[in-house]
Each structure stands twice: as structure tokens, then as C-alpha cells.
Amino acid sequence: MSEPHTDDARSKVPWLVRMHYRMRTVAFAMMFGVIALHVGSDTKSPAFWSQMALLFLVYPHAQYLRTRRLGDPTGGELRNLRTDSVFLGMGVASIGFPLWITFSGLLGTLSNNTANKGWTGVAETLVAFPGGALIGCLLWGFHFTPDTDWPTTLFCIAGLTLYLTALGQVAFTRIQRLRLTREALQVRERELMNVNDALHRNLQEIDALQEQLREQANRDPLTGLYNRRYLDSTLERELSRCKRDGHSLALILIDIDHFKQVNDTYGHQAGDEILLRLSTLLGSMARAGDVACRYGGEEFLLLMPTMPLASAQERAEALRLSFGNLEVPFGDFRLCATLSIGIAAYPGHGTSADELIRHADTALYRAKRLGRNRVEL
């Protein structure tokens, strides 16, 4: 089935092939015309003119139809340029190498080959053109008549000028297209960079939000201290590290005395104020490696890695005294409260997180039974 001649079918043919087809058709038709003008009234056989017609009028179309069906039309078209040089060499040999016609044919094909293949094209032309001339001499015999009359000379000058101008226009068009393509690519590159920057900022914001969410998930919303969930994972980790390094670890479990009475008498806002004051005090007394948590309700816990038991007891007493001396303003009132504190330490009171918390809880309730506002081991 023949290929449909549609715009879609033509658009599939590479631009280089279509451009060379137009240039070759016009240039070879001009060469046929200048040969006819040069020969003039000289008697030439029908066979000669049939051969010239095949070379210069039929060949461009046949070559185009063949090339567009190749698997690599562009590569095939670049090879066609050698064939052009051969045929032009045969044409000038057939009429005795007239100077202006030979010069025009050689310069035209040399320019086209150079524009498309560089120095390789120059070398190919300087081989193919004389090779075609040799074939022409074998076909029609060698004769040398370099002179051309004025009409032929002017035709050659005009034709060569038009061809080289057209070739320059093609080069200009290609450069313009390349420039526009480069500018479009630069625009796309800037757009991609902007999108990439925006994406990078979004990722940073997402990372910050995720970090904020993780932090919020580990923090008590009222006091800002760490919550029970964070303590459970941190205590196991810190205890394992202290076991590995041979360090001690202390837990201080804290409960606000008579906290329910404060809520019942002054309201939950008053209770929140006391909780906030205790959390602030814990935060100020904690070391960089300590973990202050709201353990639940009015209970707090201070985890102190590498803290010996005696030092932990001193810290607990200092905390109890400091909080007991606080006056928490609430409206027209000055609220006061005390702390009951239980202490447990590794390794003396247990080797697991559950054991330490259980012993600290036992010590805390002993402090409550013994009258509150005290520290117990």
C-alpha cells in the first residue's frame, strides 16, 4: 500500500531531508538548464538528453522517495550528498568541463557538504566530484572545452549566487531555531529551578511540621514538659546506656499535696497555675541530660541519668523546699502547696524501668503516709 501524502506523513520526514530535497530539486534543475543553455544548437542524441534528464530532473525526486523510507533518513540524506557530488561531476564531464559550469557545480556541492559535515564533507567532495567526472569521461568520452558564452556565464553567476544565498538563509534559519530552542530551554531550566526551590522549601516545611508534630506528641499540652509516652521510650534507652557505661541513674517521682482540694476550692484554673509553676521550677532545675515529665494529673517525674542516689536526694530536697516557698498569685489569693517526693535509683533499687518506677511510686506513697511534704527513698 502506498504511503498517504498527508501533512502528518510529511511531518514525520526529518527537516534536513525535506530541506535538502527542495534545495537539490532547484539546484539540479538549474544545472540541467545551464547545460541546455551551454550546449545550445549543438547536436546531442536523445540518449544524451535522456541521461541528463535522469541525472538532474528525475534523480532528486527518486532520491527523496528512497531516503524518507530509510530507518535512518537523516544519515541516509548525509550520504546522498556524496551522490550529488558524483552526479554533478558526471554532468560537467558530459559537456567538456566548461569553466563557469564546473566552478558553479563544484562550489555548490562543496558548500553544501561543508555546511553539513565540516572537513569530512570537504574531503568527500574532493573525491566524489572528480570521481563522477571520471565516470562521465568513460561514458561520453573526454573532451575539454572550458569557454562559456556570456548568457551561460551570467546564468552560472546568478544561479550560484542564489544557491549560496539560499544556503546561507538555511544556515541562518537553523541558527535562529537553535537560539530559540536554547532560550526556551533556559526558560524551562529557570522554571524547573523555581519549582525545585519551591519543592525544597515545601519539604523543609514538611520536615519542620513533622518535627513539630513529633514534639507535640511527646509534650504535655499544658505544661510543655515531656509526657508519659516519651518517658517510657527514653527511660529504657537511658537505663541501657547507664548499664553499658557503668553509671547510676535516679528517678524522682513528685506529687502535689492536696491538689484536689486546691481544684475544689479555687477551681481548675488555680490548679493549672500551680502545675505551671511546678513545671517551670522543674525545667530550671533539670540538667541538660535530665528529662522532666508530667507523669499524670498532679504527678511529675524527673529522670536523671548518671545521677548518684545521694545527689538525687539533695536535688529532691532542694525542689521540695523551693516549691514550698512559692506563692502562686491567683486573683486576690496567694496559693501555696507542698510536694511529696519518692526516689528510686539504679542499680540499688532495681535493674529495669518497671522496677525503678514501682519503687519510686512506693517511696512517694510512703512520703504521703508519713505526713506529706517530704522526700522518701
46-59 residue pLDDT tens: 888 898 899 899 99
Model confidence band, residue 350 (pLDDT cutoffs 50, 70, 90) = confident
Cell readout for 368 is 504521703
* Contacts of residue 237, Cβ cutoff 8 Å, sequence gap at least 6: none
What is the percentage of the chain residues whose pLDDT exceeds 70? Answer: 96
pLDDT, residue 3, reads 47
Contact call for residues 130 and 110 (beta carbons, < 8 A) = no
Q: Among candidates 288, 310, 292, which has minimal Cα distance to 375?
A: 310
Q: 329: pLDDT confidence band, cut at 50, 70 and 90?
A: confident
| Predicted confidence (pLDDT) per residue in 171-214, tens digit | 888 888 888 889 899 999 999 999 999 899 998 888 888 877 77
CA–CA separation, 278 and 256 (whole Å): 9
CA angle at residue 155 from 92 to 121, to 5 degrees? Answer: 50
Q: What is the DSSP secondary structure assignment for residue 177, as one 8-state letter?
A: H
Is residue 327 within 8 Å of residue 334, measured between CB atoms? yes
**What residue has cell string 501555696?**
336
Q: Structural domain boundaries of the chain?
A: 7-185, 228-376
Mean pLDDT score, 249-262: 93
Look up the CATH architecture of domain 228-376.
2-Layer Sandwich (3.30)
Looking at this protein, which amino acid is placed at residue 59? Y
Which single residue is written with the C-alpha cell 508519713? 370
d(CA 106, CA 110): 6
pLDDT digits (tens, 9 = 90+) for 9-19: 555 888 889 98
Confidence (pLDDT) at 62: 92
Q: Quick one: pLDDT at residue 64? A: 93
β pairing state of 299-305 and 291-296: antiparallel
Q: In the chain, what's the furthest Cα-to-Cα distance?
A: 140
- The predicted pLDDT at position 10 comes to 52
Q: Is the pLDDT of residue 372 over 50?
A: yes
Q: Concatenated DSSP letters for 284-345?
A: HH--TT-EEEEEETTEEEEEEET--HHHHHHHHHHHHHHHHT--EEETTEEE---EEEEEEE
Catalytic residue among 298, 299, 317, 376: 298
Assigned C-alpha cell, 321: 523546699
| Inter-residue long-range contacts of 172-176, CB under 8 Å, 24+ positions, other chains counted | none
Kindly tell me if the per-residue pLDDT of 122 is higher than 60.
yes
* Residue 238 among the catalytic residues: no
- Give the H/E segment covering residue 274: helix 268-285
Q: What are the beta bridge partners of residue 346?
A: 249
Per the DSSP assignment, residues forming a β-bridge with 328 are: 335
Q: 185: which 3 cell numbers?
A: 530551554
List the end-to-end C-alpha distance of the chain, in Å, as a whole number.
100
